[in-house]
């Protein structure tokens, strides 16, 4: 009942245009629906950061009109809004998130006008973003065919996930990536720290609330990747939001895992 009422409220707000703003030719979520910090309350900052992400994918991962992109933890569409502004429609963009409100926003404001852009809500528990969701099953599968994505993108998502969920996603990346495909993600990675620690004290800022910051030991994270047939190609240390590192991952080329 409560879920129905919430969905109805969202539909009314969307239809009346109360959950979006127009800015520089793009439709953006209202400030209160934007993720990744208060600096994105500024329309220019939000849109230009999505555009910068699209340009990064163009420059470093050959994002083009023919590409297929999977954006896990897409939030209220920062990356797809940026892609549409810089490149226009691409062959396939798939956005996935645990947040019902975020996916409802993207479905209402992006999907109908851009049919190759589709959004899927998964009801997986995240103590910060979807506390009432179910546990991620060990054999979790996203609803996409094997080897169908050129780019898998997760900005500031592994920074809120503990090891079991990260491992499950890594297994899925191996299945979903084209042999030439790449994963780009951001994460808190440090040398010589505990394998995985939630809200570490005296680290970058005062973390508040469940899963605000999940930090990984760099070597441990590399081992998690290797176990799933993936290899880290590059880490740019602390170049991203709040000091997260930018990580590029590819399928391990050996025949160890097929
Ligand atoms: C800090 S926000 C980043 C949003 C977006 N990637 C961006 O850069 O604007 C983290 C996002 O990850 C989503 N999320 C958290 N746990 C998730 C999970 N297990 N699977 C998919 N998305 C998840 C949250 O709902 C939220 O939208």
User: CA nearest 181: which of 143, 227, 229, 148?
Assistant: 148
pLDDT of residue 98: 98
Across the range 234-246, mean pLDDT stands at: 97
* Residue 76 CB less than 6 A away from ligand 1: no
9 CA from centroid of ligand 1 (Å): 23
pLDDT of residue 258: 44
50 CA from centroid of ligand 1 (Å): 15
185: left (phi > 0), else alpha (psi -120 to 50), else beta?
beta
* Residue 159 CB less than 6 A away from ligand 1: no
- Per the prediction, the chain carries an average pLDDT of 95
User: CA nearest 162: which of 191, 125, 122, 206?
Assistant: 125
pLDDT of residue 159: 98
Q: Which atom of ligand 1 is nearest to the CA of 102?
A: 27
Beta pairing, strands 230-236 & 245-251:
antiparallel
Q: How confident is the model at residue 253 (pLDDT cuts 50, 70, 90)?
A: confident
Residue 74 has pLDDT above 90, yes or no: yes
pLDDT of residue 10: 77
**Pocket perturbation via mutation, ligand 1, pick of 75, 121, 136, 184 by most ligand atoms within 8 A of CB:** 75
pTM (2 decimals)? 0.94
Residue 218 has pLDDT above 60, yes or no: yes
- Quote the Cα angle for 50-52-55, to 5°: 115
pLDDT of residue 256: 47
77 CA from centroid of ligand 1 (Å): 10
What residue's CA is closest to ligand 1, atom 9?
Answer: 78
Mind listing the pLDDT tens digit for each residue in 118-130? 999 999 999 999 9
Q: 256 CB contacts (<8 Å, ≥6 apart)?
A: 229
Q: How confident is the model at residue 254 (pLDDT cuts 50, 70, 90)?
A: low
Residue 161 has pLDDT above 50, yes or no: yes
pLDDT of residue 15: 78
Across the range 122-146, mean pLDDT stands at: 97
* Residue 28 CB less than 6 A away from ligand 1: no
Mind listing the pLDDT tens digit for each residue in 75-112? 999 999 999 999 999 999 999 999 999 999 999 999 99
Mind listing the pLDDT tens digit for each residue in 15-50? 777 899 999 999 999 999 999 888 898 999 999 999
154 CA from centroid of ligand 1 (Å): 8
* Residue 57 CB less than 6 A away from ligand 1: no
126 CA from centroid of ligand 1 (Å): 9
- Following DSSP, what letter does each residue of the chain receive, concatenated? -HHHHHHHHHHHHHHTTTTEEEETTEEEE-GGG--S-GGGGSHHHHHHHHHHHHHHHHHHH---TT-EEEEET-TTTHHHHHHHHHT---SEEEEEES-HHHHHHHHHHTGGG-TTEEEEE--B-BTTTBTTSBPPPTT---SS-TT-EEEEEESSSGGG--HHHHHHHHHHHHHHEEEEEEEEEEEEEESSS-SEEES-TTBSB---STTS-EEEEHHHHHHHHHHTTEEEEEEETT-SGGGPEEEEEEE--SSS--
Residue 245 has pLDDT above 70, yes or no: yes
Of residues 137 and 16, more confidence is placed in 137
- Domains assigned to the chain: 2-251 (3.40.50.150)
* Residue 73 CB less than 6 A away from ligand 1: yes
What residue's CA is closest to ligand 1, atom 11?
Answer: 73
């Amino acid at each position: 009942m409560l879920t129905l009422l919430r969905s109805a409220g969202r539909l009314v707000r969307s239809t009346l245009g109360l959950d979006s703003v127009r800015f520089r030719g793009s439709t953006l979520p209202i400030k209160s629906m934007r993720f990744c910090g208060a600096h994105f309350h500024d329309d220019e900052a939000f849109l230009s950061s999505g555009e910068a992400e699209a340009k990064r994918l163009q420059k470093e991962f050959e994002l083009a009109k023919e590409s297929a992109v999977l954006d896990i933890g897409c939030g209220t569409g920062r990356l797809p809004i940026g892609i549409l502004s810089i490149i226009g429609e691409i062959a396939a963009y798939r956005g996935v998130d645990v947040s019902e409100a975020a996916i409802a926003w993207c479905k209402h404001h992006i999907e109908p006008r851009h049919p190759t852009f589709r959004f899927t809500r998964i009801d997986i528990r995240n103590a910060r973003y979807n506390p009432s969701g179910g546990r991620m099953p060990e054999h979790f599968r996203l609803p996409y065919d094997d080897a169908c994505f050129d780019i898998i993108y997760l900005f500031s998502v592994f920074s809120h996930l503990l090891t079991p969920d990260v491992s499950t996603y890594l297994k899925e990346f191996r299945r979903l990536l084209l042999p030439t495909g790449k994963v780009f993600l951001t994460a808190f990675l440090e040398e010589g720290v505990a394998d995985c620690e939630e809200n570490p004290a005296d680290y970058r800022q005062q973390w508040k609330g469940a899963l605000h910051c999940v930090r990984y030991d760099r070597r441990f994270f590399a081992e998690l990747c290797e176990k799933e047939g993936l290899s880290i190609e590059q880490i740019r240390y602390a170049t991203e939001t709040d000091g997260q590192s930018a990580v590029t991952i590819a399928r391990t080329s050996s025949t160890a895992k097929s």
